[in-house]
Amino acid sequence: MKFVKSVFFAALSISAYCQAPCDQEINGQILDADTKEPLPFATVKIANTQKGVVSDANGFFSLVDVCGEEVHLEVQFIGYKKLVHHHDFHHSDPVIYLASDETVLESVIVEESRTRELRSLSIQKKEISELELVSTSIGDLTEQLTGVTILKTGSNISKPMIHGLHSNRVLVINDGVRHAYQVWGQEHAPEIDPSHVDQIEIVKGAGTVKYGPEALGGVILYNQKKPQFNKSLNGSIGSSYQTNGRAYSSQVSLGQGFHRFAWNIGGFGIYQADLEAPDYNLSNTGKQEYGGSFSALLHQPRFDLQISGSYYEQELGILRASIVGNLNDLQNAIDRAVPNPTFPPTYSIQNPKQETEHGLLKSNLSIFLGEHIFNVQYAVQQNVRREFDVRRGELNDRPVINLELLSHSIETEWIQPKNGRWSGNTGVQLFTQNSVNVPGSNPINFVPDYDVLNVGAFTIQSLDLDNTTLELGARFDFQSLEVADTVRETFTYANEVDFSNATFTLGLRKQFNEGLSLFSNLGSAWRPPNVAELYSFGYHHSRIQFGLWRYELEPQIATPLNRVFDESDRPVTSEKGIKWVAGVEVKKARTTAEFILHANQINDYIFLRPYGVTTNVAGTFAYFIFEQTDALFLGSDWDVRYKHTDLLTSEVKVSYVYAKSTDRNQPLIEIPPLNLDYTIEYEKGSWSGGLNLNYTAKQWNAPAMIEPIRIDDGDIEVDRNQDIFDFMAPPTDFFLLGGDITYNKNHWNLEFKVNNLLNSAYRIYTDRLRYFADAPGRNFSFTASFKF
């Protein structure tokens, strides 16, 4: 009997603990989904109760004395689509976007978890529409954000740059997981499945404290479509055709939500022929891509469990004329007006080309214990990369690089309850990688087999002082890199090197009034050298290059196959940087603007530069080496949006980066030049249209230029041991004109778009194939999507 009483009273205690008192409060704002303007006097009601309120003149509302830990909100406004939303108090206050009955848009709620980015950093977000997913690549969508440029290897391979930094200095987060791929290659684009992306988020600052090493420039987050509860079966299907490349693409998505369970799936495909420059065909620049994704979310009062995954596969052709046999061929390729060889357009993809596959499977568990939230996430990723070069006979069918990469990550995070004016989160992260060279490709591996282990712990704390927020954070990381290499399956060398470092961030955000705020953040960051920077050896995509531990300048450039340097022979230190970002945000009735200044001092910056020529049985080739220097990056981003009338809006974007080696007092190579972008948009009813004008200046802060043939002849005027130089002068400035017309009605969304309307011939300084050919010319595209 005593046992029964004990169980009874224990059950009562648990019930009392789980029963939330009627003292909860929900504050939010209601906006027009299209114009983003407030909707006054909209009705917000808790379903199946009489409790409700009406939004004020600015769209704000407040529901007080709410009972329970979870409620269903019903939001209505005359002429707009009704919205029912499941809200719990583990999330922040909602921002509600109601869609007009006349538009194809759906009413949605933006409701972030209490985990958030540092508010003292500059964070830009871009919502992705179904039309954009069908008609525009992930790289081109990312480039639309201010301060982001693209490092290209032709038109098919795009790698994002933030404030002049790329590859291992810009961290890519895909579906909440650090994207694990062969990031060391400048011509290796992140394999992101676009079918599950609905938002791109850019963090412009040293994001190392939260995300770990490799975030010296910033962080790019590709956020997935989150399953929505209480939604009937819904989805979209879209298709697009582009004239340049005769490209067909399609996208489909489905989703459904119940009271406690929701799911969505998506898929896409692209089939593209050769692209065309204004005056000639860009032979072998076709591509084929397809993939799919899924996500399932289970919600309970005490936990959320989400399981998601994606698969992405692509075959990318690389400009045939970029393959040069020797130094004379390189000089001739630079001098030619038309690339050689050039063939008629075709969908067939020949060598040189890349084939990649990427799979991701993730599970995320959020546990709610009172005001405490604990997140535990595990992810596994498989990345396969095969690169083919132009070779003779049966060797042409074998990849010159064939790598398989398996990655695991485990992350735990504690989101602390707010304690007075303090709030924060603390976490521990574990990341491992194993990369192997698949036998049967090149007899000499370009990079060895390697294993990476990274363990990190961080804490970020915020202090709210009325209209001012102070933020500080700290992190410690340990990383180990183990390598082993073989030649024709015979062991040649092995090495292990460890790195560790502590980083910090200190930030301030001041809200002067509703329309004006200022932010400033100072953060340290670091990055250990990657496997290619230390051990790369030989030919890779039209160039020969050597890692820091694989060359000696005398008596010959390359080390013997069975010997590499190590820390005792040639010390190599981690990159360590201090980045300062400050800005002003303006939000007025007709004007929204952001003005940013940034400075980044990176010590022991590792970069790849031309050095000289080397001779083998195939001829004389230019080669590149990795070196270290101290570097300074300075720049500014401006983004101003002005609403002329209710129908007409303009936006101006300006980005500039200045970079140099401070110990050599010389410019660095492949830094993006000044870019000016102006867009004017007109919207009335179901119709909208826009005109875009983009100007890219010539990079006037560029290294000296030495023609390849002059190096072979010995006719040079610089010291190759000290001077940074390039084989070609920066391209001239250029101006691009584009536009679009969109029609939205009921469930249909149609778009006609043109890029490079004037069919201008131009080359991009941050395109590695600028030596060989112009960028693509005029392109018309037509896209249609249907939502149900």
The pLDDT value recorded for residue 584 is: 95
Q: Which of 167-176, 463-472, 729-738 has the highest mean predicted lDDT (pLDDT)?
A: 729-738
Confidence of residue 345 (pLDDT cuts 50, 70, 90): very high
* Dihedrals phi, psi of 65, to nearest 5 degrees: 55, 45
Give tens-digit pLDDT for 413-439: 999 988 888 989 999 999 999 999 998
The mean pLDDT of the chain is 87
Report in angstroms the alpha-carbon separations of 197 from 130, 173, 224, 310, 767. 10, 12, 4, 11, 26
Give yes or no for a contact between 162 and 217, defined as CB atoms under 8 angstroms apart. Answer: yes
**3-state DSSP of 4-19:** HHHHHHHHHHHHHHHC
Pairing of strands 218-224, 748-755: unpaired
CA neighbor of 613 nearest in space, from 320, 190, 234, 328: 328
Pairing of strands 287-300, 303-317: antiparallel
Q: Which position has the higher pLDDT, 703 or 87?
A: 703
* Dihedrals phi, psi of 478, to nearest 5 degrees: -125, 135
276 contact partners, CB below 8 Å, separation of at least 6: 244, 245, 282, 345, 776, 777
Q: Which position has the higher pLDDT, 359 or 395?
A: 359
Residue 162 pLDDT exceeds 70 = yes
As a whole number of angstroms, the distance between CA 341 and CA 359 comes to 36
Residue 266 pLDDT exceeds 90 = yes
- Residue range 771-786: mean pLDDT, rounded: 95
DSSP state of 392: S
Confidence of residue 564 (pLDDT cuts 50, 70, 90): confident
Give yes or no for a contact between 291 and 193, defined as CB atoms under 8 angstroms apart. Answer: yes
- Residue range 185-204: mean pLDDT, rounded: 85
Confidence of residue 107 (pLDDT cuts 50, 70, 90): low
Give yes or no for a contact between 779 and 244, defined as CB atoms under 8 angstroms apart. Answer: yes
Residue 746 pLDDT exceeds 90 = no
- Residues 90, 91, 92, 96: is their CA dihedral positive or negative? negative
Residue 47 pLDDT exceeds 90 = no
Residue 618 pLDDT exceeds 60 = no
The pLDDT value recorded for residue 715 is: 59
| H helices present in 498-612, as ranges | 531-535
179 contact partners, CB below 8 Å, separation of at least 6: 172, 173, 190, 191, 192, 381
Least confident range from 94-103, 256-265, 361-370, 717-726: namely: 717-726
Least confident range from 58-62, 276-280, 602-606: namely: 58-62
Using a pLDDT cut of 90, give the percent of the chain over it.
52
Q: Tokens for 661, please give them.
A: 């080696």
Give yes or no for a contact between 317 and 287, defined as CB atoms under 8 angstroms apart. Answer: yes
Residue 615 pLDDT exceeds 80 = no
Q: Tokens for 60, please give them.
A: 């704000």
The pLDDT value recorded for residue 104 is: 55
Residue 532 pLDDT exceeds 90 = yes
**pTM: predicted TM-score of the whole model, two decimal places:** 0.87
The pLDDT value recorded for residue 545 is: 86
Give yes or no for a contact between 235 and 245, defined as CB atoms under 8 angstroms apart. Answer: no
Confidence of residue 3 (pLDDT cuts 50, 70, 90): very low
Residue 602 pLDDT exceeds 50 = yes
Residue 592 pLDDT exceeds 90 = yes
Residue 231 pLDDT exceeds 90 = no
Residue 116 pLDDT exceeds 70 = no
As a whole number of angstroms, the distance between CA 79 and CA 65 comes to 30
Least confident range from 123-137, 591-605, 630-644: namely: 123-137
Return the amino acid letter for 300: Q
The pLDDT value recorded for residue 17 is: 39
Give the three-class secondary structure for 292.
strand
Rg (CA), the chain: 27
Confidence of residue 110 (pLDDT cuts 50, 70, 90): low
The pLDDT value recorded for residue 137 is: 83
The pLDDT value recorded for residue 732 is: 96
Q: Biggest alpha carbon distance in the chain?
A: 102
Give tens-digit pLDDT for 8-42: 434 433 443 344 567 778 888 888 887 778 888 88
